[in-house]
């Protein structure tokens, strides 16, 4: 599926380069692929989250869910359920010993609905039983009496004054704003103006493994094992719900069978229910959602309505944008304030725009809540921004790639929120290299030959950028622990989970590089909140960048200790002591050396510290709430995608034939893992662009299965994919690495939409580009 990878590197500083005393070409592990699969099996010490965890006397919890989109709860009748053999308890809101609240950004979401339900599928009660069958029968036996209320399912309807209120405070969860320059003046200076409305849909995560958690009562505390992206966030939620202090809660993150943001949101919710059930029954309790539950009750990608106006001069320079963003958050805010803010600060795309007016609204409706999803608000806004760029280019008679190059962000330029970009800005290089790989100009001309007959072809481009780490000025940090064992092996601990560009593998490579030992000497323990400090969640493409830098901090501390000890043992000045290939030696006399294993043993016997915590605090971000201007993210990843499509004019079917995707990743710690992430993100983006959509009827999901919800198969993946890696290191992180796991998905949908427009002459502004939409648009024959 994949052709040769192309890597363009630019040397850049990283914060400990001098201390290691190496040049770029001397690194043995960082920037190189590891051998697979053996290297994984040697260094990964993770226990799989499989049926073996259920061999103990574990009970099962099943959820009683709302059948109404909006209703008052009059009464929950549990008597019949409690009579079923094997049912141990039926837990409702009144049984919650702590706070019945799991709202993330806004405290608006109960763990178990007590007075009111706001979407079909909302949890009302937990039935705990000795086996799954009894638990399911118990759920059927619980009776809930409702008083139905008027519901609202459309965000534009929800904004009307007469609309039913999802929450008492109203239907707007949050607003965002950017005011930069003089928009009216900017549009007066424009020679062309393009104005359109874009629509994007809900997308299901569709991970292989559903949400699951097991909670074990242990003495006066509790242990929770689950598939999650955020072990410490799970601990925070469990503490809030149960009333237990955080010191009495141990959370272990098992390997997740896919996450994509969904298990960042759902993990704490499922874990809190399992922990509550375990505390009340005093027994281990497992809660494992089935696939239909995941469809019905888990968070989805935010659907969006985006009104977009942009202007440019005849020489191809952007002058102004005016944008209205409406993101539908569903019944609860969840992560919406952060998702909407990300969309707002990326709203102009990776381009210099001197004048901007942007307004965003996050709107409640009576549908399942929205939340974290790979790309986190950026795919929606770039779908609009990148089609606007193509239409401007067409009106101006400028090639779409050339038009973008005239406007891309570079070092020394400012983003739409007026952030000065001082380093690690690789948008121009990325676009040029991807266009070169795709043979853009030649292919654009050649495809005109495929305009006859029922099947036509086109090629499209889209760019994007994605801020790494958290947003809205929220403090961010990461932590890690490096322990030297007496035999010279290393135990590595972090609560960053094994997701994205192989985060924990990347951490291990960084540790091994700094200590100059073989990678297989580094043993990675599963994430455990009782064994290492809070590394914060594995989201926002931050797992390798922030977690890896914390790992480097810990490894450097240990390295300094080992050099000091080796200096004593070798009778050699510290500045002349070298660590290399699992040995310490004196540079003045290389035969004067000691094996790493002996050095480790001496560390303990001579009273030197053998273990260190590492910590990394992300450079602060800030913004003016009155204007939205400021530093939104410490650094950005820059992406360009080019795709070739074939469109069947009779059926409207769109096939992606070739794809070229590239990103400025800072420093490629493991190019193979990056390539895998780029390919996976591209495939998920193709599903978002062409086929995937969660469908509703009066608030009820009507396609909660993989028969009716269409995800891409191997046959839908392009026959040719080429990944281009650009390296523009960031000086504040280990080896200059940035995040990449979300990158390729973001510009995939607009690249496909632009390719379809190039092939057919008509433009579809409503995702997904299904056969029906494309066919009807072709019959209309309108842009």
Dig out the tokens for 527 from the structure: 């994430």
Kindly tell me if the per-residue pLDDT of 517 is higher than 50.
yes
What is the per-residue pLDDT for 33? 73
Mean pLDDT on 165-178: 97
Condensed to tens digits (0 to 9), the pLDDT of residues 287-327 reads 999 999 999 999 999 999 999 999 999 999 999 999 999 99
Most confident of 3-7, 147-151, 227-231: 147-151
Kindly tell me if the per-residue pLDDT of 514 is higher than 80.
yes
Spatial separation of the C-alpha atoms in residues 172 and 189, rounded to whole Å: 35
User: Which CATH code is given to the segment(s) 50-149+211-288?
Assistant: 3.90.1170.50
Mean pLDDT on 641-655: 97
What is the per-residue pLDDT for 5? 46
Condensed to tens digits (0 to 9), the pLDDT of residues 463-509 reads 999 999 887 778 899 999 999 999 999 999 999 998 876 678 999 99
Which residue has 């929606």 as its token pair?
380
pLDDT > 90 fraction of the chain, expressed in percent and rounded: 87
What is the per-residue pLDDT for 502? 62
What is the per-residue pLDDT for 501? 65
- Give Cα separations from 156 to 161, 171, 360, 362, 652 (angstroms): 11, 10, 13, 11, 29
Kindly tell me if the per-residue pLDDT of 335 is higher than 60.
yes
304-472+623-782: which CATH architecture?
Answer: 2-Layer Sandwich (3.30)
Spatial separation of the C-alpha atoms in residues 17 and 615, rounded to whole Å: 18
pTM reported for the whole predicted model: 0.94
Dig out the tokens for 260 from the structure: 């994509």
Kindly tell me if the per-residue pLDDT of 40 is higher than 80.
no
What is the per-residue pLDDT for 39? 43
Kindly tell me if the per-residue pLDDT of 17 is higher than 70.
no
Q: Residue 130: left if φ>0, alpha if ψ -120 to 50, beta else—which one?
A: alpha
| pLDDT confidence tier of residue 51, bands split at 50, 70 and 90 | very low
- The CATH 3.30.365.10 portion of the chain extends over 12-30+477-617, 304-472+623-782
| pLDDT confidence tier of residue 782, bands split at 50, 70 and 90 | low
Kindly tell me if the per-residue pLDDT of 15 is higher than 70.
no
- Give Cα separations from 200 to 345, 688, 690 (angstroms): 18, 9, 11
Condensed to tens digits (0 to 9), the pLDDT of residues 657-669 reads 999 999 999 999 9
Mean pLDDT on 704-708: 95
Kindly tell me if the per-residue pLDDT of 50 is higher than 90.
no
| pLDDT confidence tier of residue 629, bands split at 50, 70 and 90 | very high
- Give Cα separations from 603 to 19, 361, 587, 592, 606 (angstroms): 21, 58, 21, 18, 6
Mean of pLDDT over the chain: 93
What is the per-residue pLDDT for 26? 72
pLDDT > 70 fraction of the chain, expressed in percent and rounded: 94
Kindly tell me if the per-residue pLDDT of 20 is higher than 80.
no
| pLDDT confidence tier of residue 187, bands split at 50, 70 and 90 | very high
Full DSSP string of 362-425:
EEE-SSPPB---TTTTHHHHHHHHHHHHHHHHHHHT--HHHHHHTTB--TT-B-TT--B--S--
What's the CA angle centered on 371, arms 197 and 473, to 5 degrees? Answer: 90
Q: Which one is predicted more confidently, 451 or 128?
A: 128
| pLDDT confidence tier of residue 32, bands split at 50, 70 and 90 | confident
| pLDDT confidence tier of residue 3, bands split at 50, 70 and 90 | very low
- Tell me which of 43-47, 146-150, 626-630, 656-660 is least confident: 43-47
Is the distance from CB of 566 to CB of 599 less than 8 angstroms? Answer: yes
Spatial separation of the C-alpha atoms in residues 217 and 284, rounded to whole Å: 6
Kindly tell me if the per-residue pLDDT of 401 is higher than 80.
yes
User: Parallel, antiparallel, or unpaired for β 221-227 and 212-218?
Assistant: antiparallel
Kindly tell me if the per-residue pLDDT of 343 is higher than 80.
yes
Q: Single out the residue of 727, 740, 777, 728 nearest to residue 757, CA to CA.
A: 777
Kindly tell me if the per-residue pLDDT of 773 is higher than 90.
yes
What is the per-residue pLDDT for 53? 47
Q: Quote the distance between the C-alpha of residue 692 and its chain's center.
A: 18
What is the per-residue pLDDT for 473? 73
User: Which CATH code is given to the segment(s) 12-30+477-617?
Assistant: 3.30.365.10
What is the per-residue pLDDT for 25? 66
Condensed to tens digits (0 to 9), the pLDDT of residues 544-565 reads 999 999 999 999 999 999 999 9
- The CATH 3.90.1170.50 portion of the chain extends over 50-149+211-288
Is the distance from CB of 516 to CB of 476 less than 8 angstroms? Answer: no
Kindly tell me if the per-residue pLDDT of 622 is higher than 90.
no
Mean pLDDT on 258-268: 94
């Amino acid at each position: 599926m994949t052709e040769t990878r192309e890597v363009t590197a630019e040397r850049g500083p990283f914060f400990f380069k001098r201390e290691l005393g190496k040049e770029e070409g001397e690194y043995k592990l960082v920037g190189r692929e590891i051998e697979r699969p053996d290297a994984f099996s040697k260094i990964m010490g993770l226990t799989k989250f499989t049926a073996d965890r259920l061999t103990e006397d574990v009970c099962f919890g099943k959820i009683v869910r709302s059948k109404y989109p909006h209703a008052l709860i009059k009464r929950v009748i549990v008597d019949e359920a409690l009579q079923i053999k094997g049912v141990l308890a039926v837990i409702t809101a009144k049984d919650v010993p702590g706070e019945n609240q799991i709202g993330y950004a806004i405290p608006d979401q109960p763990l178990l609905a007590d007075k009111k339900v706001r979407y079909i599928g909302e949890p009302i009660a937990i039935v705990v039983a000795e086996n799954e069958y009894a638990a399911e029968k118990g759920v059927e036996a619980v009776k809930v009496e409702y008083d139905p209320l008027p519901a609202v399912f459309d965000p534009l309807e929800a904004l009307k004054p007469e609309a039913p209120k999802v929450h008492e405070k109203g239907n707007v969860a949050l607003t965002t704003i950017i005011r930069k320059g003089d928009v009216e003046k900017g549009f007066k200076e424009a020679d062309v103006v393009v104005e359109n409305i874009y629509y994007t849909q809900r997308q299901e995560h569709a991970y292989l493994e559903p949400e699951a958690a097991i909670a074990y009562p242990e003495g006066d505390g509790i242990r929770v094992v689950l598939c999650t992206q955020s072990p410490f966030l799970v601990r925070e939620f469990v503490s809030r719900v149960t009333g237990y202090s955080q010191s009495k809660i141990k959370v272990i993150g098992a390997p997740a069978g896919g996450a994509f943001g969904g298990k960042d949101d759902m993990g704490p919710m499922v874990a809190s229910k399992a922990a509550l059930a375990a505390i009340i029954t005093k027994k281990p309790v497992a809660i494992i959602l089935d696939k239909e539950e995941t469809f019905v009750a888990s968070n989805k990608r935010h659907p969006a309505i985006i009104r977009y106006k942009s202007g440019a001069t005849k020489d191809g320079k952007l002058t102004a944008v005016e944008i209205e963003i409406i993101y539908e958050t569903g019944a609860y805010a969840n992560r919406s304030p952060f998702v909407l803010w990300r969309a707002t600060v990326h709203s102009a795309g990776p381009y210099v725009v001197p004048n901007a007016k942007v307004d965003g609204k996050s709107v409640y409706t009576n549908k399942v809540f929205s939340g974290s999803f790979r790309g986190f608000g950026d795919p929606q806004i770039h779908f609009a921004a990148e089609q606007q760029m193509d239409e401007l280019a067409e009106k101006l008679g400028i090639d779409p790639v050339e038009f973008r190059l005239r406007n891309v962000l570079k070092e020394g330029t400012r983003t739409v929120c007026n952030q000065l970009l001082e380093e690690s800005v690789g948008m121009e290089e990325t676009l040029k290299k991807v266009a070169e790989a795709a043979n853009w100009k030649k292919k654009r001309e050649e495809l005109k030959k495929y305009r006859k007959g029922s099947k036509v072809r086109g090629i499209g481009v889209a760019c994007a950028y994605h801020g790494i780490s958290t947003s809205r000025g929220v403090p961010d940090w990461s932590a890690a622990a490096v322990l030297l064992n007496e035999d010279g092996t290393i135990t590595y601990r972090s609560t960053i989970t094994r997701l994205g560009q192989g985060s924990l593998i990347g951490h291990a490579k960084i540790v091994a590089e700094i200590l100059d030992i073989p990678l297989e000497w580094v043993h990675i323990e599963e994430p455990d909140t009782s064994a290492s400090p809070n590394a914060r969640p594995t989201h926002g493409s931050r797992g390798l960048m922030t977690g890896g830098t914390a790992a480097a901090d810990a490894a450097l501390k240990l390295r300094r200790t080992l050099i000091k000890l080796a200096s004593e043992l070798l009778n050699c000045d510290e500045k002349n002591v070298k660590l290399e290939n699992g040995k310490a030696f004196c540079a003045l006399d290389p035969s004067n050396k000691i094996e790493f294993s002996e050095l480790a043993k001496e560390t303990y016997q001579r009273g030197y510290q053998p273990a260190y915590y590492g910590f990394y605090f992300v450079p602060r971000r800030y913004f003016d709430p009155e204007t939205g201007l400021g530093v939104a993210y410490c650094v950005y990843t820059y992406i360009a995608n080019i795709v070739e499509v074939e469109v069947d004019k009779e059926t409207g079917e769109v096939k992606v034939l070739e794809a070229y995707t590239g990103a400025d990743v800072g420093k490629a710690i493991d190019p193979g893992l990056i390539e895998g992430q780029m390919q996976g993100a591209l495939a998920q983006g193709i599903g978002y662009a062409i086929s995937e959509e969660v469908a509703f009827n009066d608030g009820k999901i009507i396609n909660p299965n993989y028969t009716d919800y269409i995800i891409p198969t191997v046959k839908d993946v392009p026959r040719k994919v080429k990944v281009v890696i650009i390296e523009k290191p960031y000086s504040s992180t280990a080896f200059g690495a940035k995040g990449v796991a979300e990158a390729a998905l973001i510009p995939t949908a607009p690249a496909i939409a632009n390719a379809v427009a190039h092939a057919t002459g008509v433009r579809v502004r409503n995702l997904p580009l299904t056969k029906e939409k494309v066919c009807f648009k072709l019959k209309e024959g309108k842009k």
